[in-house]
Structure 1
Amino acid sequence: MARPASLIAPNHAASHPLTDDPRYTAAEIPPNVLVHLTELAASRGIACDDWFAGLGLDRRQLSDPTLRISYRQASMVVRRALQAIGEPDLGLSVGRGETLGSFGLLGLAMMTARTFGEAMGVGIENHKVSGSLLDVTFEEVNERQVALVAWPRFSDAALLPFLCEELFASSLAIARQLLGASFNPARLELSYPQPAHRQAYADLFKCEVQFGMPLNRVLVDVQWLGQELPGHNPLTARQALALCTQQRPSGGSVHQEIVAAVERLLRGQLRQPPKLHDVARTLNLSERSLRRKLAESGRIFREIHDRVRAERALQLLQGGNLSVAEIGGEVGFSDPREFRRAFKRWTGMAPQEARRAAT
């Protein structure tokens, strides 16, 4: 079996003039699209473990609700999926199978909105929570129509058809779930050339479809915006929207994928924490390369390790079921006194103080 590529080294198939952009490797995207792709592959009997080779990920991690991936990682998996599955309308197949439940808290916030227009606004404002690989905006086209407009984050012509198909097909599936099967958009406009499977678009969207247009957008008649939704619940809507807001990328310091990969490894081995060289070997990097990549992200290994241990220790202290000594053991300390000293260095308080503060 071929040795996986380096975790961060660019693959020639994914080379890109904007790969120096920190957004390209920022680990802030929920892996929803990859979840749907792997589920579809499983239904086709297609193995997909190799899709994650060299990316610091594996398929099993997709079930972790806290997992966040970078555009680089997501786009590489999508490329490999397109090649492995070989279906030209793969994006349509993935998108039309999605439901409000696929979008978690965002789906709940949309379902409990007062009107379809409010649900549409919630979805657009929080589209990054759904794991979208395109940026989405809203525009008023004229007095009779509004549009959901999709913008690529990076100029990636090979992936744009899949990304647009998945986004607009899933948006259509959600709209029909909210409004009923009678909903159809007014028109779908796409910037890429007409594909061989154009008829699949017409069959699904049941509206005029135009290719080679200036924008990627779906137009909707304004009459739909005011339609009240049967699932409206003001309290649930506010609660779900508040949780969505908390999950949105903060816009602060970029959380690079190399940092996220190190954190995942450390979280999985807190009782017997690996050394820097162990982590580097697992990520198919030299120790020197790992140090350099962390430094480029403004981080050092010890600081990441301490923060991961501190977060887990605080969770266990707040749970209240384990003694301080047992919690120390859970995060890699055989000596309770060493754990107490370390915890105070991390948080500025003793473990018992943190436990009392949580009650």
Structure 2
Amino acid sequence: MTSGRAWFTPGIPGIYVVLLCDVLRELGHDPAPLLRRLDTGREQLLDPEFRLPMERANLAAEIGLALVGDAGLGFRYARAMRITLHGPVGLLALSSPTIDDGLEAARRYLGLRAPFLVVEREPLERQRQALSFRTDFGPGPVRSFVIEAMVIGFVYMLEQLLEASPDGAEVHFQGPPPAHAEALRRALPVPVRYDQPRDALILSAALLTARPRLADPQAEALAREQCELEFRRWRANQEGPLPERVRAALRDGDSAPPDLADMAERLAVSPRTLKRHLQQAGLTYRQLQDEARYRRARKLLGDGTLRISEVAYALGYNDVANFSRAFKRWSGRTPKAYRGGEGQSG
């Protein structure tokens, strides 16, 4: 049996790749070439202690998308997902006293199953809530697949918790409708809207207070205990000084750096603890964010197909002028001058 330490190697549980293979097979594609490219087999992927490294998980998604094309792999993958595949995290959601509690449990322990994803809660008007989804994957087909699969996966999770249609929910996506948008809308039991300000699941107050059909205090307590044990083991196996772990997390991300509270949650420490460790190292979180943004900015500016406004947006800036000022502070050059080759230093 694989050691506990190996289990917590960054990556995703192999069962999720098995599910991808099954979806591809249902769509008429042979998954054997995908497994050969990953240099793994179904038996290894089914081992509950096995984790597939993120770069190989990314490759699996790329291969699947190339096979399926415009058929909409994300929502088809989400539709095939069952909450029980998430282990204790799924059991905790199933047995929670309210939908709100179940969603919060899923959000809290999501990093144990999907370390590439961050889900944030945001209050909206009319007593609604938004579950907003962000991922470390940069712009492109893999990111679109991940966001679609995760957002719609939560819709089907709600349906499984209630054993009924989750009335009071809406799906929002930032981008324009994809080629498979109509097929997605027909398949999903809730409204889907595109060109929205966030990738999110919108939830009514009535839906949040609804009771899952399998709510069970005893099962919930046991599942929470299992999740907390897994969470503590994961935390205990994180190595290196906290500032270097922050740098590593920022370095691995391909999207705008998360704020301090999100980073603290990702590293399983409090924001106060994170600030203290950084201060002891003579650093601030803002400095590390700027390091990550500058490194990412140089990479994106080197891509001649991206406009400077698109680079700014990818780094979390809504205003190009603010990005230009920040980049000049980091490098001594404007983004335009840097791209033009005037002093490509750093």
Q: Structure 1 residue 187 and structure 2 residue 170: aligned? A: yes
Separation of aligned partners in 1, 2:12 and 2:132:
19
2:122 matched residue in structure 1: 139
8 Å contact kept, 2:98–2:208: yes
Separation of aligned partners in 2, 1:212 and 1:44:
28
Determine which structure has the larger helix proportion and give its number.
2
2:226 matched residue in structure 1: 243
1:74 matched residue in structure 2: 57
8 Å contact kept, 1:29–1:71: yes
Match of 2:238 among 252, 260, 265: 252
8 Å contact kept, 2:166–2:190: no
- How big is the shift at 1:219? 0.2
For 1:57-107, what per-residue CA distance to the aligned partner results, in whole angstroms no more than 9, with x for missing partners?
A: 344311110011222111110110111233521111110122222222211
Separation of aligned partners in 2, 1:73 and 1:150:
22
Separation of aligned partners in 1, 2:133 and 2:61:
18
- With over 3 angstroms needed to count, the CA separation of the structure-2 counterparts of 1:204 and 1:217, relative to structure 1, is same
SS at match of 1:114: coil
Separation of aligned partners in 1, 2:26 and 2:152:
19
- How big is the shift at 1:185? 4.4
- Letter aligned with residue 90 of structure 1: L
Separation of aligned partners in 2, 1:132 and 1:172:
20
8 Å contact kept, 2:170–2:201: yes
- The structure whose Rg is larger is 1
- Letter aligned with residue 165 of structure 1: E
Matched-pair identity in %: 20
- Letter aligned with residue 175 of structure 2: Y
- With over 3 angstroms needed to count, the CA separation of the structure-2 counterparts of 1:80 and 1:240, relative to structure 1, is same
Q: Structure 1 residue 229 and structure 2 residue 212: aligned? A: yes
For 1:198-229, what per-residue CA distance to the aligned partner results, in whole angstroms no more than 9, with x for missing partners?
A: 11232233444332333210101011111223
Unaligned runs of 5+ in 2: 1-8, 249-346
Q: Structure 1 residue 41 and structure 2 residue 24: aligned? A: yes
- With over 3 angstroms needed to count, the CA separation of the structure-2 counterparts of 1:93 and 1:66, relative to structure 1, is same
- With over 3 angstroms needed to count, the CA separation of the structure-2 counterparts of 1:83 and 1:171, relative to structure 1, is same
Q: What TM-score, normalized to structure 1?
A: 0.58
2:108 matched residue in structure 1: 125
1:57 matched residue in structure 2: 40
Q: How does 1:205-216 map to 2 (within 5 A)?
A: 205-216=188-199
- With over 3 angstroms needed to count, the CA separation of the structure-2 counterparts of 1:90 and 1:246, relative to structure 1, is same
- How big is the shift at 1:55? 4.4
Match of 1:172 among 138, 155, 169: 155
Separation of aligned partners in 1, 2:37 and 2:28:
23
Q: Structure 1 residue 218 and structure 2 residue 204: aligned? A: no
Q: What TM-score, normalized to structure 2?
A: 0.60
- With over 3 angstroms needed to count, the CA separation of the structure-2 counterparts of 1:132 and 1:36, relative to structure 1, is farther
Unaligned runs of 5+ in 1: 1-25, 257-359
- Letter aligned with residue 207 of structure 2: W
